[in-house]
Chains A and B, each alone.
Chain A
Amino acid sequence: MEPLVAEPVEIDRPALVRAGPPEVHARMLALVGVASFVAARVLSLDGPALYTCPFRAATGVPCPSCGATHAFVHLAHGEFGQGLFASPLFALLALALWTGSAFTLARLVGLRWTLALPDLRSQRARALRYAAVATIAANWAFVVFVSRGGAP
């Protein structure tokens, strides 16, 4: 007897999908992306620290998100190597945020295609979750390693 509930079917998505004007969340995320880019361009890393990480203050070890500010600032100034060195994960996140913002702005002025996102309800979801956890852990290990004077 056939099961009543259909199993999820894995379908490869194209890199680009057709889309209309961006939704309100996409527009606001683009605004956040633009604001973060402007702030990263204006912010100077030579001045006093704007924020002291409580995790680092308590343990002496950087937290998983330490180095994010440096990554954003370096990338906004076109210093990709230094940005990746500060925090590889947040450097990639900054690139993703700004690329997404650029796509959204382009869609606002008429682009009818957008980047396809992976479907996390598919059979790949479990593997993607493990990969995300492993990526965060690897990034943390790298940041701790570098803070201890290690070379990349």
Chain B
Amino acid sequence: MVPEAPPVAATALPSASGAGPSAPGQAGPGAPPPSGGFGNFESPNAGPPQGKGTPWELGTGGAFASWRETMVQALFEPGKLFSSIDLEQGRKHLSFAIITGSIFLMVSQLIERFVIGPQTEQFRKMAQDMLGDRGQKLGPFVKSLMGVNTNSAATTIVLLFLAPLFVLVFLYANALVTHGFALLFGQSKRGFKATFAACAYSNATTVLMLVPGCGSPIAILWCVVLIGIGIKITHGASTGGATAVALGPYLLCCLGICALTTLGVTAAMQGAASGFQP
């Protein structure tokens, strides 16, 4: 059994990141496996020094106490939390995100299905009775507006069991997209592990999903803010760079909408102008 790849030596030069002696056929059987290939997420060590560990990583006072302390720090003292992250504790980052995200996703699903859903259904029926035929169109609109879970009980149960898998997929998708923007903007100074840690602890905002209605959008917005703070601290990025990395995916969509709107308005104006020509 080959031992786990050791942490990368502290250097900013790419020559020491696993390229040199690792060529096939050159490395001896006793040589330690270098990092840098697919499946090895090196920390380039060009950023700030690592912290000693978050409460969740240290596990002081038991699992629940350390989780609660980490939640409090993530929500109210994110700077303190992110500056204490130990990037080599990838399993801890992952477990915190999975446990936190799954619990609150499950509970929010149950609240929507069994508490909010029936009330909205009553409201929809009342609106249909009042509006007659027009209410037929209003019903789905109200449902979609409030984002109510209208799944069957069986589907809800299946979704509850799959919640950890959903959280895992979205966590890695989020981390990969964010890290892609960090690479694009040249802000990735400590590798994927740092981005992943920032995204993982930002999952603490899923607690807001328990608030019906406005909870989910606020959770997303706060999550983006926390990712920005996390990128700034874990990568040692500039404020502008961290903001760009966190907002990049969302700005891309917004800028696209603005560009297309401008194009549409320009085309409409040109069309109107040509219509008035004799």
Inter-chain contact A122/B14, CB cutoff 8 Å: yes
Residues of A within 8 A of B169 (CB): 32, 35-36
- Taken residue by residue from 89 to 113, chain B's Cβ proximity to chain A (1 for < 8 Å, 0 otherwise) reads as 0110010000000000000000000
Q: Which A residues are CB-close (under 8 A) to B38?
A: 26, 100, 103-104, 114-117
Chain A residues 27-67 with CB under 8 Å of chain B are: 28-29, 31-32, 35-36, 55, 58-59, 61, 63-64
Q: With contacts A13-B19, A21-B4, A133-B184 known, is A116 near B36, CB below 8 A?
A: yes
**A129 part of interface (Cβ distance < 8 Å):** yes
Residue contact B37 to A28, C-beta cutoff 8 Å? no
| Residue of A17, A24, A103, A133 contacting most chain B CB atoms (<10 Å) | A17
B39 touches A104 (CB 8 A): yes
Q: A32-B172, A116-B37 are in contact. Are A20 and B94 (CB under 8 A)?
A: no
Q: How far is the CA of A8 from the CA of B17 in the complex (A)?
A: 12
Interface stretch, picked from B23-31, B65-73, B77-85, B114-122, is B23-31
Complex: A59 Cα to B35 Cα, angstroms: 45
A147 to chain B, nearest CB (A): 13
* Interface residue total, chain A, C-beta cutoff 8 A: 49
Q: Chain A interface secondary structure, helix, strand, loop or mixed?
A: mixed
Q: Is A9 an interface residue (CB 8 A)?
A: yes
Question: Cβ of A119 and Cβ of B257 under 8 Å apart?
Answer: no
Whether B222 sits at the interface, judged by CB under 8 Å, is no
Does the CB pair A20–B5 fall under 8 Å?
yes
Question: Contacts of A11 on B, CB cut-off 8 Å?
Answer: 14-15, 19-20
A17 with B39: CB separation less than 8 A: no
Return chain B residues, CB-CB under 8 Å to A25: 41, 90, 94, 172, 192-193, 196
| B154 beta carbon closer than 8 Å to chain A | no
A115 to B39 Cα, complex, angstroms:
8
Assembly CA distance A9 to B16 (angstroms): 10
Which chain A residues border B151 with CB–CB below 8 Å? Answer: none
Chain B contacts of A9 at CB under 8 A?
13-15
- Given the interface pairs A6-B13, A32-B169, the reply to whether A17 lies near B37 with Cβ below 8 Å is yes
The chain A residue with its CB closest to the CB of B91 is A24
CA of A117 to CA of B23, assembled, Å = 13
A14 to B256, CA, bound (A): 39
Q: How far is the CB of A66 from chain B (nearest CB, A)?
A: 11
Contact indicator B41/A23 (Cβ below 8 Å): yes
Known contacts A32-B173, A116-B37; can you find 10 more A-B pairs with CB under 8 A? A17-B18, A18-B24, A18-B34, A26-B38, A58-B257, A59-B257, A59-B261, A114-B39, A116-B38, A119-B36
Among all A-B residue pairs, the 8 with the closest Cβ atoms: A26-B39, A114-B37, A20-B33, A22-B39, A17-B37, A115-B38, A20-B2, A17-B22
B residues apposed to A, CB below 8 Å: 1-5, 12-15, 17-20, 22-24, 27, 31-41, 44, 46, 90-91, 94, 165, 168-169, 172-173, 180, 183-184, 186, 188, 192-193, 196, 252-253, 256-257, 260-261
